[in-house]
Structures are given as structure tokens and as C-alpha cells.
Structure 1
Amino acid sequence: SLTRADSAFETVISSFITAELDRRGQLCSSTCPPLTVTIAPDLAPTALQNHIRIPSPRLVGLTETGEPSPHYWELVAERLGAPLSRTTITFAVPLYQLQFYESIAAEFHQRQRQVQVELITLDKLPTEPLALLAQVDGAATTPHNSLNILEPSFTLTADLLAAGAVVDLTDLAFSDPGFAPGDFYEQIWQGGLWQERLWLVPQGAYLPVIFYDKAAYELTERPFPSMGWTWAEMLAEISYLSQAQPAWVRWGLADQRADLLYAYAYAQTPDCGAPACASQLTPAARAAALDWYLSLLIGPNGQAGSGPLHHPRGINDLERLSAALTVVSTRRQAAFWVEDPSRFEYHLLLNSLGVLPFPASDEFNSSTPLWIQGSVMSSASTQPMATWEWLRFLSFRQVNASDRLIPARPSVANQTNFWTSLPRDVDNAMRTAFPFARPIPFTEQKRFAWAQIDALVDGSLTVAEASSPETLRWFQNPQP
């Protein structure tokens, strides 16, 4: 099919398609499923089966005599051959998740014999994101949890989108009847969007929780905090325990990945206290979170490190991880700490343990940050349709179950018994927080960095500077 404006090209394009299919040995009898070729007035792709969408020659280029250019015929031949040829796509994955992806790739190949997936671990690719994407057809983002902090990682940020490094997947998602965009948790789906377009196909979401030391409460004979606690109540609990603590411990607060900063910043936007909230953080909300964080770090005497918040300064990631593990080891130096749900059994074996969602404010429910893991298609991909089939397939599979990432689709959560398999305490906290969890937008993925906090403490950076909006550099190489 084609538009009236392209009707003059109908005969020549039809003849070329017939000849090309004949050359490839793909012409067959009426028993074959029909192949629909659309000459479209735009560049939008389609994922419909047995449907090929090719832009008008008026968009690609005409010769001086007004005929389709040689480049156009190359494009038509390429589009015709893509669904008919065997191909291999390359896909970047975190090293520690390689085994999971290998099993999924084997299952995918059994169903899609024409497509082979070559997995490349991130440690074998450039660390600079743009260079990484230039070498693969697609990539999986790295889960936001404490255990992979020392491994090479890939995060989709707004500057990569502005640089044109990844493909807009919206048209593929909504033209593919097998994708089912309505079968996603709305909070997780929102985490794959930017400017109301889909750039990342969600696979799962990391929902941090707060662990607390029950032994500290038992020693001080204080009632355990409630599941619906507020920010003010959390500060009151920390204040009470810090005053009642024995001489040999420091019952403070610890957060290895700055999730508290995101949660507190989102708590400053009460007009957005509803599921699927996708608003950007305002400079005022960022500033409020940084001021709050610094008040816990510096303490009333004005000296850094004297407050209840554990924050080792001026150290590298390995030293920070070691310090964080020490704080929450057998002799805990934190009464409360932000942690991965997957670490529940480990900490429970060390000492008695409770689990809470992030606090709420007086106006609305919890604002737990939600980190989306998913997959992107590189703009450098030469096999976009095969890559899309792989991304779609991944969205129907559970990310490594031991990570306790919430499956992106409720249908997958039900099939894998995700919620019912959680320990009761973890399940209660996650179910309480998840309906109002806030997906971290691509523009905020690297907002609160430890180097930034260190600079705020030593005075080389102001809160106003740290909370100001970042300027996107359109169609330029993003900063590493």
C-alpha cells in the first residue's frame, strides 16, 4: 500500500519488490502468508508480523529525473531481507547476570531460529556509554543494588537520549500485538518513558527497603516502629536511639546508594502522591533533600560526621562498600539502613531484623524510589527488527530471581509467584511501598552522587549549585 502522493512510483516499486523476492527465492504460492509492504509518508517502524514498512522515496531521496535514488533501492532490499534472513545480534549484559541471559537466549533461539543472540559482558566493552552502544545492537541496564557497585555498569541517562544513541521504541511497542504494553505495572512502565516516548523496555524494578535492628529496640525496651511511619517519626526514632545507645555502639542511619535523598526529594511534591507518578524533581525538592541530608550528616555541633548519618568521605567505591558492610555487620553501627530486599536472610542470620518501607509524609503515602532495569536498542544496530523481538521476549521473562527485582509485568509476577515467595516481613514492606513507588527518570539517574555530597560538606559546592537543573547537550557526545 502507498499514499496518493507516491502513486506514481507504484509500478516501479512493485516490480523491484517482486524481482528482489524472486532473487532471494522467497516467492511462493498462495499458501504462503501474505506479505504486506507499506510505502509510508514517515519514518516510523512497525512490528506487525508479515508487514514491512518502508519510507517514501520522497523522504529518502530522488534522482534528478524524479525517480527513486539508488540509495532508496538499497534500503528497500535491506528491509525486504531483514525478516527473511538468519542473523546474529549482539547484546551487552552485566557480568554477574550472564548465566541468566544465556538461558533466556537459548530459549529465545529455540523459538526464533533465524535470530542468534551473542551476549557480551560489560567488562569486555568500553566504559564510555556512547562507545559501548556503538559496538552492540542492544544492552541491558545494570540493576541498582549494592552488590554490583564494583562491576562495570551501564545506565540509560537523558544525555544518551539527547545524543541519539538509543532508538525510540514507541512505534514498535504499540504496533506489535504480541508486546501487550498494557501488561506492565504502571509505575515500572513509566520508568521506561521520557518525553512520553518509550526508550527502555522494562524487565524489572529494584525497590529498596529499610532494615532496622530489633536488638536495639529490645535493649532500650522501645516499641518497634510501625509500617506506616512518617519522616518525622523516623527522625524521632533515630534521635531516641542515639541518646539511649550504649557506649560501644553508634545507632545511626546508613544508606549506601543515596536512596534516602531521592525518597525525601519526592516527598516534597505532595501534589504527586499517586501511583504512576512520573514528574521530574524540582530544584526546590532537590535542595530540600540535600539540606535534610546534610543536617543528618553534620549534626548540631556543625562538624561533619557528628550527626546520626554514616557517610564515609573521600574514599573510592571499594572502600565505601567495605565501610558500608562494616556498619551493618554483626556488631551493627546503624539502627536503620537502606538495603536490598535480597539481603534479608543474610542480615537476619547476623542478628534480629525488622523491615520497613520508606517513610511517608503527613499528606500522602510513601515515596520509595523505584529503579527500573530493562533493555535498550542501540541506534547503531543494523538489525532493528531482530533486536526488537529479543527485547520483547525479555520483557516476558523474570530477571534473576535471587535479586528480588519486581517483574515488570504482573502476569510474570503471577507466573513466577514473585510476591508469595518473599519472606513475610519483606513482602509486607514491599507491598506497602510499591503502589506509590516513584520511578527514577532518566534525567535524575545520576543526580545525587557521593562526590557531590563530599563537595557540599567541604564547602566547594553549594546546595543551590548541586540542585540546579542540568542542561542536555543535544546530538553531541554525552559526558562519560
Structure 2
Amino acid sequence: MGIDFNWQTEDQITPPVLPGKSSNPLAWLVVAVIAVCLAVAIWFGARYWLEHRDDDLKGELQAVLDLEQQAAQSGDGELFLSLQTDDPAWIAAQLLPRNQSFNQAEREVTRARQSEGEAWANVRWRENGDSWQRIVFFRWDGSKWRRSAGSDTYWGETKRYRYDWGVLILPASDIDWRTPISRFVADNVPANTPHLTLILETDDAPALEYATPGQVGEVRLPSPRFWGLDESGSPGASFWSAMAAHLNPPTTTLRFVVPDAVAFRYQGLAQTFTQTYLPGDYTIEIIPLGSLPADPRAWLPQVDGAKLTLTESLIVGGYVRDLTDMAQGDAQFEQGDFYEQIWQAAWWQDRMWMVPANAELNVIFYSREAFRAAGLPEPQAGWTWDDLTAAANTLSQPLSDGDHFWGIMDTTGDLVWGYGLSWESDCLQGPCLPDLNGERRQAALSWYAANVGQALPDVSSLTDEERELARLRWLMLQQAAMWVSSPVNYEVELSRMPLGVVTFPLSLFQATAGGVDAGITPLHVSGFIISQDSPHPRLMWEWLRYLSYTSADKLRTIPARPSVAAQNIFWCRLPGQLNAALCAALPLARAIRIGEENWLTWQQLQDPTTPVSSRPPWFQRPTY
């Protein structure tokens, strides 16, 4: 028998028929229309969202600028700082005159963009009847926008271009201006300059010529976008003027102001420096301080620099140049070769504003005869403020002619400062840098109020000249047992009476701990500054560096550099007991810092209700 198998293989299986594609054109048209409409809707929606997001950003940034303008116009430094990033260099740049004008102007944000925690805005304002625009940057701090120095994304790559005159370095965002900038440099650079590097910076730093005229070097300027562009978007006149001034300064005379008593010595130093270091026909003119108005704000814009005691009002007014970058970039300027307590006086808001020159450290002179007659032991190293107060009250007594013999006399104000700095001090090894906080200031004012008119005379209502006359009268009549004085007066006072010298007293903790011979004494530091308006900042810096290694001031002021003190055998030339007092006092001395000149003033001693920490207004350059 046979079986017939009819096998069907897989290859022979007929696949199922799939549904055919629609050939209806209307359906396709509907799908296409829906897709296009959806795309258009998404595009318009995205555009609407972006526009409104940018509008919201513009409003937020505009609010910051409006509040900043309010702070700048009113001189409210605290409010102004609250709107800035914590960048000391950026804060210092806002004190430049051109930035002061910009910050006080009414400004409008015309465009704004945001990217990864930062934002930039195109800002328009009017000045002297003209319309200008510039770039302004912001950073998000987690809760609000703050103005900042620059951007991580805005500028693009750094570009370098070589020309006959040298090299131009600028960000990619500024390359459209490279040709007019190059032509301007070629037309304005001195003919004897062999090579120049011009760098356009991407942060708003002070302009600076690193070149000594006629030599190889650099000129650094902020981008034209920081100076202000005209209505066509081209660099404005202020940028071209600044570049011309730094390429080819308008004058070759550096004007430098010094106290009258040392003008002759500085003239000799200026002559040596000119012959040795200055190029071509550059000279230094020494101007005696006494020939100028009493207020430095009246003459600082007309000079290149000065030797003075720097105050906060000169900095926040925009009269003094920030020296930090020049000092830190100069290997020949030995920052470590300064007494630390004197070096502290050069700084404000974490920036360096002067080169310390010297410091005056007052001591206490006393009449040995007065202590002998009263049966009191003479003051000794390591005495306390309680010892001073008790001795002063014991020695103080009315005289038969209605006058008064004072236990201690102070026409410098240093006693109150010394008490405040030493109050509850636990510093046993210098430098001692206590903060003169409100509690210490109040303690000092209370000590003064408890003893003025009893142990020491009230000279708070007198002028400086009247205080000096009163001091001379009391000393001539020998109507004080102790008095605060400059070491320079030692020989004069010694010629009048048997004289003792002692340091400022110690706190109770210091005296109990032992090992300390002097309390915390206030240091009065003066130094060299560069005017914000000087067209020669680099040459002025070289002059200041040179001066910091010399000593042209009166003999009894302490040179800021130990090397200069050693070179001039300063310590060895001091009389014995004066040497002992100054050597004991200096390690624990504490400089009166920039800004503290407004504390514990004679006005506050006269009227305790006067604010003890009044601060000068910012951005207030008066017109003289």
C-alpha cells in the first residue's frame, strides 16, 4: 500500500495580503496642514516665551540699575556694595571717575540675555547731550542679580594680530574694530617706540600703560564696550581719548606733592631718580603742600601723586588710584620687606591704595620731679591703664592762681585710641590687630568722659592750632605731670626738666600674663599715592617704588621697611630710654587704618552723641 504525502514547505506559503496605502490626497493634505500648524504654533509659542522671558529679565536688571543709581547719587556706599558681586577689584573700578558718572546716570536696559547663572545687558544713557551705550554684566547669587566685572561666555576667544607697530590682543567680540584701532595706534604711538603690545581687557579695570615711553612694553585698556559706544555702535570718544593719553601722554612732567618740611630732601631724590630712571625729557616737579589748598580734593586731580595720610573720603571720592595690581605684578617691589603693622595701613576693602612710607609712634613723657614731689613711683614698663588713671588723678590738682596742674595731657587724641585698642586685649605677641569695634569705642569714650576735666584737660573744642598752643603753654609753665608726645620732641622736653619716657599702658590681661612691656599703641602711617587722574601711572609707580627704599622724612618717624631702618641705622641713633620705649611699643602697635580716621574724633569726644563711625559719602567729586 502506498501513502501519498502532499507536503507544503514554508517557501510555498503565500504571505497574507497587507492593507494597501490610501490613495486619498485629501487625507494627506489634512495631515500636512495639521503638522504645519503645529510647527508654527510651537515656533510662535517659543518665540513668545523667549520674548517674555527676556522682557522679565530686562525688568529685573533694570531694577538693579535703578537702585544702583539711587545709591550712587546719594553716596550710599553700603547700598551700592549690596548690589555688586564680592570682587574687591571690581568695587575699586567703580570708583573711577568715568564709572562714577555712568553709575549716577539714568540708564535704560535695551536688550538682555541670560546664560548659566550670568546675564549681560546692553545699556543706553545720555551724557552731555549725547546718547551712549555699553555692556553691563550680572551674576545670579541664588536670590538676586548683582553687577559683576565680566562674563565667562560673552567675549569669545582671544585674538592676536600683528602690525608694524606691534601686537593687538583683543576678544573675538571686538575684532570688527581691529582696523580702526590699529590705524589709531600707528598715528599716535611715539616714533621712538620700537614695539608695543596693546591689550583690550574683558573686565572693567583701570587703564594702565606698562610701557616706559620709548621702550618695549604694554598698554592695557578695557574693551571699548566698557567706555561707551556711540549710536552707530562704534567706540566712543572717551575710549580714543584714553588710548591717546596712554600711548603718548600729553605732558612729560610728573607733579608730586610733599610736606613743606621735607620738600628739599624730595627734590634731591627726584633729581637722582630723573637722571637714573626717567626717559628722555621727563622730569619730576616737587610741590610743597603748603602752597596748595588745605583740602586735597581741590588739587589731587591736577597732580600725579603725593605723600600724605590717606583717608577713606579720598578713595570713595575717586581721587586715588588702586595700586594692587601694580604692586603684585612687580617683582622688584618687596612686599615682605615692610613692618606688618605698618603694611596694614595701606589697605582698604582688600585693595592696596598707598605705598607706606613711615609711621609716627607717640609715647608718654613724664616729669620725674612731679612724681618725686607727689611721692609716687615713676611709671614703669608693664604698667596698666588703671595705674595711669590712678596716677593722673592723684597728680592733678588746682593751682592757687585759678589754673590747673594736670596729671596727664593729650593733644593728639592717642590716649583715647590706645584705651580703646587695649580694652580687654589678650594680645601678647605682635602684630596686634584688634578690631576697634563699637564696644571698644564706647569703652574708650566712657574712660575719657570719666577723666576729662579731672585728670586731663578738655581740648576737644579747640582747633588744631589752638591745641598746639595749649600744649606749648602747659609744658612751658610745667603744668602737666605726663603728656603724650612725638619722639621728635624728646630733646626739647629733656632740656626743660628731668624727663622720663614710658610706653602706653597694658590691659589687665596683658599685665597678668606677663612677658609684655607695652600696650597697644596707635600708629599714624603716611605714604605715597598716585592720583586717579595721572596720565603717568606706570612712571609714578616706579617713582613710588624708588621712594619706598629711601627715607626723606623727619628722624623720629619709623621707616615702613625694616631694611630702610637698618640702612639708616634708625634704631641705633635713638637716645637710650626713647629707644627702649619705641622698641617695646612697635611689636604690639596697631595702625589707624583707612576709614578709621572718622572714629574717636575730637568732635565725638566733645559730643558723645556724634556717631562714632560716620562714613564719608561715595562718588562725590565736587567741582572746584
Shorter chain as denominator, the TM-score bin is: 0.7 to 0.9
Match of 1:370 in 2: 523
Judging changes above 3 Å, is the alpha-carbon distance between structure 1 residues 244 and 262 closer, same or farther for their aligned structure 2 residues?
Answer: same
**Counterparts of 1:159 and 1:323, CA distance in 2:** 30
Match of 2:619 in 1: 475
Aligned residues: 441
Q: Deviations over 1:310-360 (max 9, x none)?
A: 23465444332222112223x422111100101111111111111111111
Shift of residue 452, structure 1, vs aligned partner: 4.0
1:252-267 mapped onto 2 (5 Å cutoff): 252-267=407-422
**Counterparts of 2:446 and 2:605, CA distance in 1:** 11
**Counterparts of 1:177 and 1:95, CA distance in 2:** 32
Judging changes above 3 Å, is the alpha-carbon distance between structure 1 residues 435 and 6 closer, same or farther for their aligned structure 2 residues?
Answer: farther
Match of 1:56 in 2: 223
Between structures 1 and 2, the one with greater strand share:
2
Q: 1:355 aligns with which of 492, 501, 508?
A: 501
The answer as to 2:296 corresponding to 1:129 is yes
Q: Deviations over 1:125-180 (max 9, x none)?
A: 22233212222222221xxxxxxxxxxxxx43212222112111111111122222
The answer as to 2:207 corresponding to 1:40 is no
Q: Deviations over 1:191-240 (max 9, x none)?
A: 11111111121100000011111122333454332211111121233244
1:30-429 mapped onto 2 (5 Å cutoff): 35-42=196-203, 43-44=205-206, 50-62=217-229, 68-69=235-236, 71-82=238-249, 87-114=252-279, 115-141=282-308, 155-242=309-396, 250-268=405-423, 270=425, 275-278=430-433, 280-297=435-452, 305=453, 307-312=454-459, 314-329=461-476, 331-364=477-510, 366-402=519-555, 404-429=556-581
Match of 2:602 in 1: 450
Match of 1:26 in 2: 192
**Counterparts of 2:171 and 2:553, CA distance in 1:** 51
**Counterparts of 2:399 and 2:611, CA distance in 1:** 35
Aligned residue identity for 1:437: A
CA contact (8 A) 2:394 2:407 kept: no
CA contact (8 A) 2:398 2:404 kept: no
Q: Deviations over 1:27-83 (max 9, x none)?
A: 54xxxxx6444332222556856333232333334566766556544433432335x
Aligned residue identity for 1:288: A
Unaligned runs of 5+ residues in structure 1 are: 29-33, 142-154, 298-304, 455-460
CA contact (8 A) 1:202 1:373 kept: yes
The structure that has the greater radius of gyration is 2
**Counterparts of 1:363 and 1:246, CA distance in 2:** 40
Aligned residue identity for 2:356: P
CA contact (8 A) 2:354 2:527 kept: yes
Judging changes above 3 Å, is the alpha-carbon distance between structure 1 residues 258 and 64 closer, same or farther for their aligned structure 2 residues?
Answer: closer
**TM-score for both structures, normalised by structure 2:** 0.64
**Counterparts of 1:70 and 1:312, CA distance in 2:** 54
CA contact (8 A) 2:600 2:612 kept: no
Q: Deviations over 1:220-275 (max 9, x none)?
A: 45433221111112123324444899999825100111110111111236367763
Match of 2:128 in 1: none
Q: Once structures 1 and 2 are overlaid, which stretch shifts more, 63-72 or 413-422?
A: 63-72
Judging changes above 3 Å, is the alpha-carbon distance between structure 1 residues 436 and 314 closer, same or farther for their aligned structure 2 residues?
Answer: closer
**Counterparts of 2:237 and 2:395, CA distance in 1:** 76
Judging changes above 3 Å, is the alpha-carbon distance between structure 1 residues 243 and 8 closer, same or farther for their aligned structure 2 residues?
Answer: closer
Judging changes above 3 Å, is the alpha-carbon distance between structure 1 residues 4 and 137 closer, same or farther for their aligned structure 2 residues?
Answer: closer
Shift of residue 361, structure 1, vs aligned partner: 0.3
**Counterparts of 2:465 and 2:564, CA distance in 1:** 35
Identity in percent: 37
Unaligned runs of 5+ residues in structure 2 are: 1-159, 161-168, 212-216, 511-517
Aligned residue identity for 2:529: V
**TM-score for both structures, normalised by structure 1:** 0.82
**Counterparts of 1:370 and 1:175, CA distance in 2:** 28
Judging changes above 3 Å, is the alpha-carbon distance between structure 1 residues 71 and 334 closer, same or farther for their aligned structure 2 residues?
Answer: closer
Shift of residue 20, structure 1, vs aligned partner: 4.2
Larger relative contact order (CA 8 Å, sep ≥ 6): 1
Q: CA RMSD in A?
A: 3.2
**Counterparts of 1:477 and 1:7, CA distance in 2:** 32
Match of 1:8 in 2: 175
